[in-house]
Chain A
Amino acid sequence: MLDDDLGVRLQKRFPRNGDSAFTLDVGFDVSAGFTILFGASGAGKTTLLDCVAGLQTPDDGSIAIGGTVLFDAQSRRNVPPNRRSVGYLLQSLALFPHMTAEQNIQYGLAALKNSEREARCREVLESFRIAALAQRRPGEISGGERQRVALARALVTRPRVLLLDEPLNALDAVTKARIVDDLRAWNNRHQIPILYVTHDREEVFTFADAVIVLESGRVVAQGLPHDVLSRPQSETVAQLAGFENIFECSAIGLHAEQGTMTCRINGSALQIEVPLTRVDPSQPLHVGIRAGDILLASVAPQGLSARNVLYGSINCLEQRDMTVIAKVDCGVEFEVHLTPGARQSLHLETGSKVWLVVKTYSCHVLQDRDRFSSD
């Protein structure tokens, strides 16, 4: 762990009535740059950020920035939120409605001398292009502008870590991208860890330096976005990486010399060839296939290297923007994406007989969470 990394190891239990108790149990380090915390709603993302900021107290574990301990269950150390130097952009932004943008931004600078305070405020107003709004109140500016004011307010205090809880959710893509660009530019100069919570997978691809995937209160994958997404090992990551087809399968034959194994998709007689993976044959496994990785043929294809050629009929066709989404019944339903041009030249209709072609290496074996965590 480097000097200014955020280190988090914590447990927090939420006893609920009856069977649905929830436990947040995570451990990870975050370095300077954008780390995206990805997970479905209810995975524990906001609770995790609240614990780092000091708004909620974990049951066990420790939280530190570099050598500064913010929370430690063993030594009973728990620094209150106002002494943590953690910038936290709440989902609701929580701008003070009775203050102007400038007053909001200067709120956290009470300890500074007037001249210093004004200089810092000017700098951040310019960094986030909101100098013109300085004298307006939150109720008088747009959503994107409020976003910028809230970011400026959090960053002007020079926090050692910045936490963002889905703050850009409500914004259109262009506004969002501009704000992220400005935030990136700011962080190129200041180099602090930024932990960014989202359940929007587009954001992961757009600007993550690292990804942490949270599933039911546990970290199921973490690392560089490319590494995490190219070899997904859990269902949440697979959804994150855009696997429209996820099947539960049983391994029925291992072919070590060919580097493949044969799996039967549960609930059907369909067999597919997938890359050889170290699995327990007695346990079901999941196979993910991207809809865009599947080839569609209107006549039986021949002379292919691809090991999986499946025969079926089109259940439905639907066009969304420039993508045609075909649902094909091959015993189980596959989702296939193709271009409108391909649809035309193959004369595809509902009910058309088609062949699906899937390369072995387009079939990704996803490991169960328990298996992954014990590795």
Chain B
Amino acid sequence: MITQALTLTLRLAVVVSVILLAIGLPLAYWLAFSRQRWKFFVEAVVSLPIVLPPTVLGFYVLVAIGPLSPVGRWYQALTGHSLAFTFEGLVVGSVFYSLPFAVQPMAASFSSVDRKLLDASALLGASAWRTFWRIVLPLGLPGVVTGFVLSFAHTLGEFGVVLMIGGNIPGATQTVSILIYDQVQALDYAAANRTALLLLALCFALLTILYGLRRRSAWNVWGWK
């Protein structure tokens, strides 16, 4: 049972953090460099999941993917089943839930890149696309890795959104954190203890590796700092 839940959780975390990498890079670039007036609005929306109770977020996502919403109906027409209480539904909810954890470190490290370097790149004939891949991304890499790892770790440990959207179906939507809740409900404290310890160790190991990486001098792309 625990293996099944663990596999599911890891698979969810991998899929979500990869999707967030793809969404997060352009979004963070836009947040870091755009001069649009309504940027603050997008910033607020992106940060919302940090303060919102997971149940609120989970509830709205559940309504949005349910048969009553256009999105839900469209998905059902396309695939023949609803997104609710499926792995795909969990992915959608988790992407929203972990969005700030991916985007914020990326945007912060992009905006710390010296604007003069971007000017210099343009003056040497480079397009904005080339400037991103050759200058912004390499110099902002620590933030990108941080965003990736944090969104992975955050998805590993999420509970409320999963419970709201996915319910508690072993093999389909029962993640490790739900399993712990299940075991406690069943008064099986020994099992809950083992599962909780596993999740604790996993998250701790991830963060240790992340911060250890950032300390190493090879990580220091500036060379002189």
Instruction: List chain A positions with a Cβ less than 8 A from chain B.
Output: 53-55, 80-84, 86-88, 90, 92, 94-98, 107-108, 110-111, 137-140, 153-154, 157
Contacts and interface: CB of A to CB of B under 8 A. Distances in A.
A96 B121 CA distance: 9
Interface residues of B, number: 21
A108 B117 contact: no
A90 B222 contact: no
B144 interface: no
Given A94-B117, A96-B135, A87 B221 contact: no
A88 B223 CA distance: 24
16 contacts: A53-B123, A55-B119, A55-B122, A55-B123, A81-B122, A88-B123, A90-B119, A94-B119, A96-B121, A96-B134, A98-B138, A98-B222, A108-B125, A138-B224, A139-B222, A139-B223
Contact of A140 (B117, B119, B223): B223
B116 A139 contact: no
Contact of B126 (A86, A94, A110): A110
B126 A107 contact: yes
A195 to B, nearest CB: 14
A306 B138 CA distance: 70
Given A81-B123, A88-B123, A98 B221 contact: yes
Contacts of A90: 116, 119-120
Nearest to A106: B124
Query: Counting chain A CB atoms within 10 Å of each CB, which of B120, B135, B138, B224 scores highest?
Result: B120
A83 B222 CA distance: 29
A96 B122 contact: no
Nearest to A137: B223
B16 interface: no
Contacts of A157: 124-125
B81 interface: no
Nearest to A97: B222
A86 B134 contact: no
A337 B224 CA distance: 45
Contacts of B138: 98
Contact of A82 (B116, B125, B223): B125
B182 interface: no
B130 interface: yes
A92 B224 contact: no
B161 interface: no
B188 interface: no
A84 B114 CA distance: 22
B139 interface: yes
Contacts of A95: 120
Given A97-B139, A97-B222, A98-B221, A83 B119 contact: no
- Among all A-B residue pairs, the 6 with the closest Cβ atoms: A139-B224, A139-B223, A108-B124, A94-B120, A94-B116, A81-B122
